[in-house]
Each structure stands twice: as structure tokens, then as C-alpha cells.
Structure 1
Amino acid sequence: MANSLDDPKHVLVDRAARRMAEEFGDSSLTVRQKLALTCRVLFDAGHDSGLAGQITARGNRPGTYYTQRLGYGFDEVTEDNLLLVDEDLQVLEGDGMPNPANRFHSWIYRAREDVTCIVHTHPLHAASLAMLEVPLIVSQMDTTPLYDDCAFLPTWPGIPVGNEEGEIISAALGDKRAVLLAHHGQLVAGRTVEEACNLAVLIERAARMQLLAMSAGTIRPLPDDLAREAHDWTSTPQRHRATFAYYARRALRRHPDCVAPGTVIG
């Protein structure tokens, strides 16, 4: 016999949150492994655009971060070929050179102490929406993690290899977790690698849904209070860990070379 059918919503929400906190603890994966898996997840999710795009995560020492080697696509990144660089993009660990466009990541890390991972890519649908100079519209339940959490940069500053681009892009991002860059692509800034991975997958899906909806009619807005509730419910560390683990297991089946043999994902 059910005992919870008369419980109010807030009681059920709190109960589920406690259960998830117990069930989905910290991962045993290293930062390098999480980044390598994220690259494969994003490749499979349509974020591939040749050598365009970067992924970074803070290193153990201040002013350092891990990133992929220039010349390697997202489908070639492994935990062993990632680089550790400083804010001048000097390589501290690894062989090769980083993408010169990584410079603007340093500006975001300096402005946002809460950010530990940045994903910038040019996926087809996000880039297409950016061509229209139209902000991302969140109007469907699955995309609510981005509700009122995706900024918009309406002008293209050109190639992002100068300090000016760092100032412009970090200012446009502000305190949001994502930004759509006109005539360019998307960027997400996560508190964890798991969060950044999930939001990057989601922003491309949201852009695709928006383009489809725009072609069929007028997009109707979500009720603000319910959208904010859904944003918060889907933005917990536990939800991000659970979602990332699923994406990572799927990626590992397709790309077993990206991490050491025997790596276990929860």
C-alpha cells in the first residue's frame, strides 16, 4: 500500500533530493579522464567542427588548466595526450601546443572563481542559431537547466586569440553558465566538468529544438516560476553526476581508447 500519495510536492522533492545525494556521490575519475570522456561525449553529440573549439579545466596549481592539443579532434583526445598549460599558454605538461584561442578562457577563470571547466564549440544547430543573431529561448522542460542562465553576445569580435576577446566574452557571460555567441558558437562554464559536459550537450539540443519550433510557429514562453523551479531541480551536483555517468558509459563503449583500460564509471 502506498504511503506517499497524499504528500505535498515540496515533501516529495526534498525526499528525492536526499535520496539522490545518497546515491550519486563523488566520482573516482580524474580530471584528465573526465575531460577525455567529455570530448568523446561532445563528438558523438554533434559538437565536432574540425579543430574548432576548446575544452579546459582548472589544474591543481592556480593559473593553470588542462586542455587538448592543437591538431587533435575531440574524437582523438585521451587522458594521456591532454596538456597542462599556464595563462600564457606555455605547456607545463605534455607534448604539442594548445589552441591559441584558449586565451579567452583565462579571462573567464579570473572573473569566475566558481567555474572549473569551460567548453567552447561550434555545433551545427547552436552555430546556425547564432547566425540569426537570435538569443537562445528556453521553452521546454528538458532545457530548463539553461532557463535564464544563457547569455547572448550579439556582436562577433573576430577570432578569439587576443585579450580583447577575453574581456568581451567574459563580460557577456557575466554570472550565467552559458552564452550564445553571435556568428560563432556556444560556450558553457561549469562548476564541475560534469556540469559543463551536460550543459554543452543540452545547449546544442536546445538550439536544434528552437530552430525546429521557429520553423513551425511562434514559441510560447514557460511560466517563470515553474521554469525556475525546474532549473534548480535539474542543476544539482547529484543530477549532473548521474547524467554525466550515463553519457560517459555510453562514450566509453564507443571510444574505449580515451581512458586507461579498466576505468570504472559509476
Structure 2
Amino acid sequence: MTSTLHDSKDEIVGRAERQMRDHFGDSALSTRQKLALTCRILFDGGHDSGLAGQITARGKEPGTYYTQRLGLGFDEITEENLLLVDEDLNVLEGDGMPNPANRFHSWIYRAREDVNCIIHTHSLHTAALAMLEVPLVVSQMDTTPLYDDCAFLKDWPGVPVGNEEGEIISAALGDKRAILLAHHGQLVTGATVEEACNLAILIERAAQLQLLAMAAGTVRPLPPELAREAHDWTSTERRNQANFAYRARRALRAHPDCVAEGTTI
């Protein structure tokens, strides 16, 4: 006999959250491995734009972070060829040079102690939406982790290799987890690599959905209270871990060279 058909939504949600805490947990992957897998996930997810875009994650020492080597595409990143740099982009570990545009990541890390990973790409649909100079509109359940959590920088400040762009972008991001950059692309942040990876996939999908919907008619807004509820339900650490693990398994099957042989997820 069933015992839950008359439970309240709050009771069901609470039970599900407890079960997720029991069944999903921290990964044994290193930060380098998570970043390498994320690069392959993003490549497969339509974020490829040649050598444009950066991914970073804080290193163990304050003021340091991992990033990819300039000259390598997302589909070429491995745990071994990632660089460790300081805030001035001096290479502390690894060979090669980082992308000079990583400078604005330093500004975001300084402004946001809660951020441990940043992903910036020129993915196709976010870049197309950015050309219209309109904010991202979240109006579909799957993309609600971005509801009221995506800022918008309407004025393009130019190529982001100076400190000025770092100040502008970090200020425009504010306390949000994501931002659409007009005439440029997207940027997402996360407390973990898993969170940032999931948001990067979702912001590209949200932009694609928005463009399709705009071409067909008028995008209708979500009820704010329900959208905020969905945002919180889909933004938990355990859901991020589960979603990332699924995507990482797919990436590892397609790109076994990106991490050490024998790595399991």
C-alpha cells in the first residue's frame, strides 16, 4: 500500500533531498580532472569557438588558479596540460602561456569569495543572443537554475584583456552566478567545478530556447514564485554532482585521453 499519496509537496521535497544526500556525494576526481572533463563536455555541448573562451578554478594557494594553455582548444585539454597561474597570469606550473583574457577572472575571484570556478565561452546561441542586446529570459523549467540569476552587460567594453574590463565585468556580474555579455558571449560561476559546468551547459540551452521562442512568438514569463522554487530545487549541490557525473561519464567515453588511464567516475 502506498503511504505518500497524501503527503504535502514540502514533505516530498524534503524526502527527496535527504535521499539525494545519501545517494550522491563528493567525487574522487581532482580539480585538474574535473576541469579537463568540463572542457570536453563544453566542446561536445556546442561551446567550441576556436581558441576563444577560458575555464579557471582556484588553486590550493590563495591568488592562484588553474586554466588552459593558449593555443589549445577545449577538445585538446587534458589534466596534464592545464596551467597553474597567479593573478598576474605568471605560470607557476606547466608549459606555455595562459589566455591574456584570463585577467578578468582575477577580478571576479577577488570580488567573489564564494566563486571557485569560472567558465567563459562564446557558445553559438549565447553569442547570437548577445548580438541582439537583450537579456537572457528564463521561461522553461529545465533552465530555472538561471532564473533571476543571470546578469546582463549591455555595453560591450571591448576585448577583455585589460584591468578596465575586469572591473566592468565583475561589477556587472554582481552577486549573480551568470552573466550574458552583449556582443561577446556568456560567463558562469560556481562554488564548484560541477556547478559551473552545469550552468554553462544550461545558459547555452536557455539562449537557444529563447531564440527559437522569439522566432515563433512572444516569450511568456514564468510565475515568479514558482520559478524561484524551481531555481532552488534545481540548484542544490547534490543535483550539481549528479548532473556533472552523468556528463563526465559521457565525456570520458568519448574522450578517454583527457584524464589518466583507469580514472573512474
TM-score (norm 1): 0.99
The amino acid of 1:113's aligned partner reads E
The separation in 1 between residues aligned to 2:111 and 2:15, in whole angstroms, is 36
The separation in 2 between residues aligned to 1:176 and 1:71, in whole angstroms, is 30
User: What is residue 104 of structure 2 aligned with on the other side?
Assistant: 104
Structure 2: unaligned runs, 5 residues or longer: none
User: What is residue 168 of structure 1 aligned with on the other side?
Assistant: 168
The separation in 1 between residues aligned to 2:44 and 2:92, in whole angstroms, is 30
The separation in 1 between residues aligned to 2:95 and 2:2, in whole angstroms, is 60
Structure 1: unaligned runs, 5 residues or longer: none
The separation in 2 between residues aligned to 1:3 and 1:46, in whole angstroms, is 44
User: Could you tell me how far 1:231 is from its partner in structure 2?
Assistant: 0.2
The separation in 2 between residues aligned to 1:2 and 1:75, in whole angstroms, is 49
The separation in 1 between residues aligned to 2:261 and 2:226, in whole angstroms, is 44
The separation in 2 between residues aligned to 1:66 and 1:193, in whole angstroms, is 11
The answer to whether the aligner puts 1:184 opposite 2:184 as a matched pair is yes
Deviations 1:88-109 (A, max 9, x none): 1000000000000000000000
The amino acid of 1:189's aligned partner reads T
User: What is residue 55 of structure 1 aligned with on the other side?
Assistant: 55
The separation in 1 between residues aligned to 2:212 and 2:236, in whole angstroms, is 29
The separation in 2 between residues aligned to 1:122 and 1:137, in whole angstroms, is 18
User: What is residue 128 of structure 1 aligned with on the other side?
Assistant: 128
The count of corresponding residues between Structure 1 and Structure 2 is 265
User: Could you tell me how far 1:58 is from its partner in structure 2?
Assistant: 0.1
SS at match of 2:227: helix
User: Could you tell me how far 1:125 is from its partner in structure 2?
Assistant: 0.3
User: Could you tell me how far 1:143 is from its partner in structure 2?
Assistant: 0.5
User: What is residue 254 of structure 2 aligned with on the other side?
Assistant: 254
The separation in 2 between residues aligned to 1:45 and 1:26, in whole angstroms, is 24
Within-5 A mapping of 1:1-266: 1-265=1-265
The separation in 2 between residues aligned to 1:189 and 1:169, in whole angstroms, is 12
The amino acid of 1:136's aligned partner reads L
The amino acid of 2:122's aligned partner reads H
Q: Quote the RMSD (CA, aligned, Å).
A: 0.3
User: Identical aligned pairs, as a percentage?
Assistant: 80
The separation in 1 between residues aligned to 2:37 and 2:142, in whole angstroms, is 22
The separation in 2 between residues aligned to 1:189 and 1:164, in whole angstroms, is 20
User: Could you tell me how far 1:175 is from its partner in structure 2?
Assistant: 0.2
The separation in 1 between residues aligned to 2:234 and 2:113, in whole angstroms, is 22
User: Could you tell me how far 1:209 is from its partner in structure 2?
Assistant: 0.2
User: Could you tell me how far 1:147 is from its partner in structure 2?
Assistant: 0.1
User: Could you tell me how far 1:146 is from its partner in structure 2?
Assistant: 0.1
Structure 1 residue runs of 4+, over 3 Å off? none
User: Could you tell me how far 1:164 is from its partner in structure 2?
Assistant: 0.2
The amino acid of 1:16's aligned partner reads A
TM-score (norm 2): 1.00
The amino acid of 2:82's aligned partner reads L
The separation in 2 between residues aligned to 1:143 and 1:117, in whole angstroms, is 20
SS at match of 2:256: coil
Deviations 1:93-139 (A, max 9, x none): 00000000000000000000000000000000000000000100000
